[in-house]
Amino acid sequence: QVQLVESGGGLVQVGGSMRLSCAASGRTFSAYAMGWFRQAPGKEREFVAAISWSVGNTYYADSVKGRFTISRDNALNTAYLQMNSLKPEDTGVYYCSADIRPSSSGWRTLDDWGQGTQVTVSS
């Protein structure tokens, strides 16, 4: 049973920064791509970023490109999301995936969702 624990969320002002962490357990994660999704109030969950398991290729939603940076530490089974220049539209619950894959309809996760971590950007 895969367990995902997201942390690092909170309240930040516009233009601020925040770093999210995702600790994964239950299997070996070094062979899987990891990633982040988010869900804003009243909206569907959307893809944010992904990182491959080997060479660390990264992928971003257009809305966060240039502001967010995804990274991972395979030894710790942990993924990170560094968020800079935060905007009110970045507000939402952020969820990680320890097995994220591209598909014809966009990125999807093969994991169950964790509890997520709330990010609120105030203006």
Average pLDDT, the chain: 94
- Write the DSSP symbol of residue 37: E
Strands, E, within the chain: which ranges? 3-7, 10-13, 18-25, 34-39, 46-51, 58-60, 68-73, 78-83, 92-97, 100-101, 108-109, 117-122
**For the chain, how big is the Rg over CA atoms in Å?**
13
Question: What integer is the mean pLDDT of 63-79?
Answer: 94
The per-residue pLDDT for 56 is 83
For residue 85, the Cα-to-chain-centroid distance in whole angstroms is 16
Buried b (16+ CB within 10 A) or exposed e, 78-113: bbbbebeebeeebbbbbbbbbbbeeeeeebebebee
Question: What integer is the mean pLDDT of 91-114?
Answer: 93
